[in-house]
């Protein structure tokens, strides 16, 4: 009798979960603008796929020429910060895309993710805010016609990313479809706005040069080669800036 009761309870719970997933999918059809996508993602989607940040990246991963779209429930993490100063993050996205390819284009997760280490390597306004994320999930979409693959990277504070394979398979095609329907929001911010936002002042000419190259996505090593200084010197300047 107890086994039968438990089986019924488990079945009812499963049915409720699937009903919730289907409701989330149904709401995706009303996404027409970027604000709709954000509200749907952080409201409905988060109920069945808990996360703190979603970064969508697409473009030429081999060349590092990428576009980004960021949705987050954490204050001050937004697309503009990432577009203006991608730094090492573009390399991270290219690496995750390659891992997705090597994994047979199947989704994967990374638990105990070292976001602090990435920020220390090449600090930017975006990677600084990323510190505290401890796990991630990568779901990719192959674009055979346009040659612009897209990966969706979910970041979470939990040390282990929890997700049901069946839920992900049902939900993600609708996340991809909804994002492709909305207009791409690209509003670059100036170097002066970054400095003001970070309450920076009194930057030297060298630090302005370093900040310029960080904005273009150069690594510490590449910046050092351009400015004829060591990567450690670049790193020390960036520590003072950020």
* pLDDT (0 to 100) of residue 242: 55
Please indicate, yes or no, whether residues 176 and 122 belong to a single structural domain of this protein: yes
- Asked if residue 35 and residue 142 are part of one domain, the reply reads yes
Low-confidence ranges of the chain (pLDDT < 50): 1-13, 187-191, 193-194, 197-200
Task: Provide the domain limits for residue 199.
Answer: 191-241
Helices (H), the chain: 2-28, 34-40, 46-48, 79-84, 88-102, 115-121, 125-130, 165-181, 191-197, 205-215, 220-227, 231-241
- What pLDDT does residue 5 have? 39
Asked whether residue 150 falls in the same domain as residue 195, the answer is no
Same domain, 148 and 82: yes
- 119 and 58 part of one domain: yes
pLDDT in the model for residue 159: 92
Rounded to 5 degrees, what angle do the CA atoms 99, 105, 111 make? 50
Q: Are residues 164 and 70 in the same domain?
A: yes
For 141-198, the pLDDT digits (tens) are 998 776 789 999 999 999 999 888 889 999 999 999 999 998 776 544 444 544 554 4
CATH assignment of the domain containing 227:
1.10.10.10
User: Is 8 domain-assigned?
Assistant: no
Query: Is the Cβ–Cβ distance between 51 and 154 less than 8 Å?
Result: yes
Strand arrangement of the beta sheet that strand 65-72 belongs to: 65-72, 53-60, 150-156, 135-141, 108-111
* Angle at CA of residue 210, ends 197 and 114, nearest 5°: 70
**Residue 188: CA count within 13 A, CB half-sphere:** 9
By three-state DSSP, how is residue 51 classified? coil
CATH number of the domain enclosing 76: 3.30.450.80
Q: Quote the number of domains for the chain.
A: 2
């Amino acid at each position: 009798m107890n086994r039968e009761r438990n089986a019924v309870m488990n079945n009812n719970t499963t049915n409720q979960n699937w009903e919730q997933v289907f409701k989330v999918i149904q709401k995706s059809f009303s996404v027409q603008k970027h604000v709709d996508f954000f509200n749907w993602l952080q409201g409905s989607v988060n109920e069945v796929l808990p996360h703190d940040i979603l970064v969508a990246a697409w473009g030429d991963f081999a060349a590092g020429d990428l576009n980004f779209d960021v949705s987050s429930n954490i204050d001050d993490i937004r697309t503009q910060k990432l577009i203006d100063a991608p730094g090492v993050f573009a390399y991270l996205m290219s690496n995750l895309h390659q891992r997705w390819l090597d994994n047979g284009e199947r989704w994967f997760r990374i638990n105990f993710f070292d976001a602090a280490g990435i920020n220390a390597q090449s600090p930017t306004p975006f990677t600084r805010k990323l510190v505290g994320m401890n796990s991630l999930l990568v779901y990719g979409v192959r674009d055979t016609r346009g040659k612009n693959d897209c990966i969706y990277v979910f970041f979470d504070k939990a040390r282990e990313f929890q997700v049901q394979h069946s839920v992900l398979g049902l939900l993600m095609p609708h996340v991809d479809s909804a994002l492709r329907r909305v207009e791409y929001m690209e509003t670059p911010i100036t170097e002066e706005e970054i400095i003001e936002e970070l309450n920076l002042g009194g930057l030297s000419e060298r630090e302005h040069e370093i900040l310029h190259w960080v904005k273009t996505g150069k690594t510490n090593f590449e910046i050092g080669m351009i400015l004829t200084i060591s990567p450690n010197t670049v790193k020390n300047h960036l520590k003072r800036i950020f």
